[in-house]
Amino acid sequence: MDYLAGLNPSQRAAVEQTEGPVMIVAGAGSGKTRVITYRVAHLVRRGVDPFNILVLTFTNKAAKEMRERIMKVVGNEAKNIWMGTFHSVFAKILRVEAEHIGYPRNFTIYDTDDSKSLIRSILKEMQLDDKLYNAGFVYNRISSAKNNLISAQEYLNNDQVQAEDYSNGRGQLGQIYLTFTQRCYKAGAMDFDDLLFKTNVLFREFPEVLHRYQHKFKYLMVDEYQDTNFSQYLIVRKLAAINENICVVGDDAQSIYAFRGANIQNILNFEKDYSDLKVFKLEQNYRSTQNIVNAANSIIANNQNQLKKSVFSENETGEKIKVCRAFSDNEEGKIVAEAIAQERSLKGWNYRDFAILYRTNAQSRAMEEALRKISIPYKIYGGTSFYQRKEIKDLIAYFRLTFNPNDEEAIKRVINYPRRGIGDTTVDRILIAADKHQLTLWDVISNAATYLDGRSAGAVGIFATMIQGFQVVAKGHSAFDAAMHIAQHSGLLKDLYQDKSVEGLSRYENIQELLNGIKEFSEREDIEEKGLDVFMQDIALLTNDDNDKNPNADTVSLMTIHSSKGLEFPHVFIVGLEENLFPSQLSLNSRSELEEERRLFYVAVTRAEKKLTLSYATSRYRWGTLNNCEPSRFLDELNPAYLELDFKARTTPESTASFADERQAWGQRDMFTKPKPKVAPKTTAILPKAHTPSPGFAPSDTSGLQVGMEVEHERFGFGKVINLEGNKNDVKATIFFKELGQKQLLLKFAKLRIVG
């Protein structure tokens, strides 16, 4: 029986080319894993010793899956193949060779928390401001240096790097890096990045060791090559230098990890390293419908820096891609949740057939709340539920303490976060005093001078006064104003803002999103009581972890697009397709950044098997202020032949405009010049006619607004006031607009021009 019979011609050609340098450009859904496993199995079937084969992956899951598939073809010999992640394989080598570089064979591997803890100790010893030298920021700086093979001493000796650090007020980063390296060495420990950094040192300093492994690994295969960094690239190149039997597999169109140090040039320039390179392109997509594949092609065609390929599908044509527009992120969540409920009811789909993808973790809040409201079970993939995230729980703990100062768990969580000089010893003294005198913790804290002494009493007293101040503010202010006051004056916002790492920015965005939710709660019309205490009662039900723990449970999957790579679902929703959100505002400074964002969109689209829905909101809260949003440029780049615009009752059949027309009507300009799309000519999309504000449009003082007056809104157009309610700063106007019908607006945010 021909075990290669199930491969298509391109796949089979790639499998059978076992000698010399090979690059397999594998489009989305093209059977990449199948080709890698069959290629390794083919080597073994041809007589290659499995001990001489090295296969490098990026996840343990991928390595496990490949080995199991190979075993089905070659049996237990598959167990002898060197296969695993970069870090696991080279940790194994370092265990054997560690003494060459002065480490014990049983060296410890520090995880991220271990490394950050050590950094915090060093900062304390050096008496450095841990706000300026945030442990997360320092860790990422050291990690970036190691991934670029810059040692601590080289870091200190680089005048340009030193000048940059000093100009940013962080002139001691190099010394911290050096001390960190010395302490790790003294402890016989390597951090995660050291596993690659030290392997490069080993191969550079001890050529006889490199020579031994070059002859051991006669055949190398690297999966997801587009995700390799400089350190990984150099290791692979050195190991393959003798035999040059190297095969890299990947897709430049799915290179989305630059923030982790991945360098797309490794795959784009691979041919420059090997003049006799043979390239195979896997272009048939077995995953998605023709409409989805063709739409994805129309997106990625806009990238200039890429390896050209023509991905196609022979699956069914499939439904067109639905594009939905919402007036807010909460409405967007409602649209998605209702679509899932309807699809499941009408077509008999399971909840696990659906996935909701977003650009940032903060976007999960609106989706989670909408799903909960109609009892749709879900799970957060690759992360925790919005209300279970540490930063959210920290701020909520302050809220809880404001209304119930006897809440011991809330006290323990925030009494020294952000740091305010109340260490573990002081907390222990509070616990002892409370137990001795049969008091609550708050009784001791609020009378610190009686039960504690010296500096401890002073720091604890300041904390108590702060909480008491929060209690006063909460009684006399709206939920949002009270929440913002607590977030600011607790020091939590400042602490998160100063952490400029990827994780720090995400945590800061999550706090912003929580405050956005509180702002929307403050403006709800279906409830009378809108204090922060009522909001807390509302979300108490949401914070209960009642999701099914069974990984095979029938639940909707929620995740960032980065987390979705390698996965697939029958029906995918991509939400938040707005400028400055997706593409991210942080990724519009150069063409290379914008092209990575476009690749991220391509990855998202190609996760869908049967059906794809895209959505965006025309307004979204940021720090309690409702901002207008414009549709993402990526929507313009999709060939409209594959789209179905679903704007329901808001659509006016007589008006036509493209997404670009909407942006132009709002007075928006692209922050980056787009290349001309290499797609079919655009057809017009059916959208509500955008209102062009009158020349010299300027909002009027609406304090004297009366029922019956004619007004103009810069987006909604002309209308008549038909009702006014509320008082002072919370007056709400009901206005009938000629183009859009009846809407309710808060006057303090509405920006209306009184016409007459």
Burial class (CB in 10 A: 0-12, 13-18, 19+), 111: exposed
Chain centre distance of CA 541: 26
pLDDT for position 543 = 44
Residue-wise pLDDT tens digits, 209-264: 999 999 999 999 999 999 999 999 999 999 999 999 999 999 999 999 988 888 99
Average pLDDT of the segment spanning 626-645: 90
Average pLDDT of the segment spanning 407-421: 88
For this structure, is 223 an active site residue?
yes
Q: What are phi and psi of 393, to 5 degrees?
A: -65, -35
Q: Is 40 helix (H, G, I), strand (E, B) or coil?
A: helix
355, 569 in Cβ contact below 8 A?
yes
Q: Which segment of 166-180, 213-227, 612-626 scores lowest on mean pLDDT?
A: 612-626
Q: Which segment of 73-77, 391-395, 516-520, 735-739 scores lowest on mean pLDDT?
A: 735-739
For this structure, is 32 an active site residue?
yes
Give residues with Cβ within 8 angstroms of 226, minimum separation 6: 250, 251, 252, 254, 255, 262, 264, 266, 267
For this structure, is 224 an active site residue?
yes
Give the fold, CATH level 3, of 688-755.
SH3 type barrels. (2.30.30)
Return mean pLDDT, the chain.
Answer: 85
pLDDT for position 525 = 74
pLDDT for position 667 = 36
For this structure, is 254 an active site residue?
yes
pLDDT for position 648 = 53
| pLDDT for residue 348 is more than 80 | yes
Percent of the chain past pLDDT 90, that is, above it, reads 50
Residue-wise pLDDT tens digits, 79-90: 889 998 888 899
Residue type, 393: K
Binding positions for ATP are: 26-33
Paired sense of beta strands 82-85 and 321-326, if any: unpaired
Residue type, 58: F
- Taking CB atoms within 8 Å and a gap of at least 24, the contacts of 365-369 are 365/513, 365/514, 365/516, 365/517, 366/329, 366/330, 366/332, 366/333, 366/517, 367/333, 367/336, 367/337, 367/558, 367/575, 368/333, 368/542, 368/558, 369/330, 369/333, 369/517, 369/542
640, 539 in Cβ contact below 8 A?
no
CATH class of the region 390-532: mainly alpha
Confidence band of 551 (pLDDT split at 50, 70, 90): low
pLDDT for position 673 = 32
Q: Spell out the SS3 assignment of 429-498.
A: HHHHHHHHCCCCHHHHHCCHHHHCCHHHHHHHHHHHHHHHHHHHHHHHCCHHHHHHHHHHHCCHHHHHHC
Find residue 101's DSSP bridge partners: none
For domain 313-385+546-645, give the CATH number. 3.40.50.300
Q: Spell out the SS3 assignment of 203-250.
A: HHHCHHHHHHHHHHCCEEEECCHHHCCHHHHHHHHHHCCCCCCEEEEE
The answer to whether the pTM exceeds 0.75 is no
Residue-wise pLDDT tens digits, 505-532: 889 989 998 998 899 888 877 677 788 8
The CA distance from 125 to 142, in Å, is 18
Residue from 57, 179, 232, 254 carrying the catalytic annotation? 254
Containing H/E element for 370? helix 364-373
Residue from 33, 112, 543, 668 carrying the catalytic annotation? 33
More confident residue, 191 or 117: 191
**What is the dihedral sign for C-alpha 475, 476, 482, 486?**
negative
Omega before 418 cis (within 30°)? yes
Q: Is CATH 3.10.129.10 what the domain over 9-99+198-282 is classified as, yes or no?
A: no
Residue-wise pLDDT tens digits, 679-699: 333 333 333 446 778 888 888
Residue from 191, 224, 597, 712 carrying the catalytic annotation? 224
| pLDDT for residue 675 is more than 70 | no
